[in-house]
Structure 1
Amino acid sequence: MHKAGLSQIMVRPLPEQSLLFDYHAKGDYTDCFTIDVAGDVSQQQFVIAFYTSRLFKVERFVLKWLVAKPSTDPEAEKLANGSIDSFAAWTVEGQEPNQLLLCDYQGRTRSWLMAKPVGKGAEAATRLFFGTGVVSATNRKTGRRSMPLPFRLLLGFHRRYAKALLRSAVMRLIARESSVS
């Protein structure tokens, strides 16, 4: 993998085989951002890179001090390997060989990562997926379900931040590969 092998971050429909898809099907907010990188990237490599990237370490720092949910790089590796079922403010809700779904400690949001090979041979690449789900709240007066107001207000920021997190994970993957080479 190298910088020349990077594509743009794309907004895509959530794949039906996604562990996050049930939330989409229920009408909860979901999103899906992808980027293609040259070469083979395993799910484990992606999860480690995502949760140990520079930008995500800022989020980990905030979680440690604001909600007493600390985490470490070795814990991110254990999460990626499936040997722990909680990390910082999240617990594992679902895990398959190529995807991971986490639920926040309040049960309001979901984070989803998936690595999927695309192309073969000299054209081999990996599509990295990052998605979020926000569980709808039921209005007590009307009985209607909708995204909670704080999440609606932060949606624009969230979309920019999600793209930045995905890009930061890719930069981490590139940095790790260049240190191994």
Structure 2
Amino acid sequence: MPAIETCSLPADAFLQRYLREGHYADCYITAITGDAGLAQYVEAFYTTALFKAERVVLAMIGRSSTDHQARQLGAGARDRFAAWAVEQRDDRQILLRDFSGHTCSWLMAAPIPGGGTQLYFGSAVVASADPRTGRSSIGTRWQVLLGLHKLYSRMLLRAASRRLMAGDR
């Protein structure tokens, strides 16, 4: 199984805007054999067993979703999925912002010359001004959770890449 690596955001990544504005942003990458477009990647990502566990938690707060809705999101037939709304998309990437406006998720599938697909996954945490200091920060809660977030991001990307490589779409 290919490694999941941390990387810089591609120059054309929709998530770049958040990084330029001073918010936290990360990016993970892996390569798979075979061709997978954005639609297949989005569906695979949001229908893995790992993400389905998150969907159960989201359903408890009134943000339920289905595999069919994940497929529609990937195909561009839906602009809302669970806790997210599409902020921007094209044929290779999609940027979703959560209902609270505090986080974004970004997925991109890019063909590799000669065959294969690069899968990217990134997140942004929107900083806000601390009322006491006036300094912009993602806040203590996110600082504490960042290590877990990074591990979970890698696990999600690995699960989606395995699903795509297994042909289980």
TM-score tier (shorter): over 0.9
User: Is contact 2:33-2:165 (8 Å) kept?
Assistant: no
Residues 120-161 of structure 1: CA distance to partner in whole angstroms, max 9, x if unpaired? 1xxx11100000000001112322101121111000101110
Q: Secondary structure at the match of 1:91?
A: strand
2:53 alignment counterpart: 58
1:14 alignment counterpart: 9
The AA in structure 1 aligned to 2:21 is K
Does residue 155 of structure 2 align to residue 164 of structure 1?
yes
Q: CA RMSD in A?
A: 1.2
Cα separation, 2, equivalents of 1:173 and 1:118: 15
1:29 alignment counterpart: 24
1:132 alignment counterpart: 123
Out of 97, 100, 118, the position equivalent to 1:103 is 97
Cα separation, 1, equivalents of 2:10 and 2:165: 26
TM-score normalized by structure 2? 0.96
The AA in structure 1 aligned to 2:101 is G
The AA in structure 2 aligned to 1:143 is G
Cα separation, 2, equivalents of 1:13 and 1:173: 23
Identity %: 42
Give the Å deviation of 1:119.
2.4
Q: Secondary structure at the match of 1:40?
A: coil
Out of 129, 134, 149, the position equivalent to 1:143 is 134
In our comparison, the structure showing a higher alpha carbon Rg is 1
Cα separation, 1, equivalents of 2:159 and 2:49: 7
Instruction: Tell me the matched-pair count.
Output: 169
The AA in structure 1 aligned to 2:146 is L
The AA in structure 2 aligned to 1:146 is S
Between Structure 1 and Structure 2, which shows a larger proportion of helix residues?
1
Does residue 46 of structure 2 align to residue 46 of structure 1?
no
Give the Å deviation of 1:99.
0.3
The AA in structure 1 aligned to 2:132 is K
Give the Å deviation of 1:174.
2.8
Does residue 147 of structure 2 align to residue 153 of structure 1?
no
Out of 60, 66, 78, the position equivalent to 2:72 is 78
Residues 50-109 of structure 1: CA distance to partner in whole angstroms, max 9, x if unpaired? 0001100000011001x1100000000110111111000000001111000000010000
TM-score normalized by structure 1? 0.90
Cα separation, 2, equivalents of 1:72 and 1:174: 22
Which deviates the most, 160-169 or 141-150? Answer: 141-150
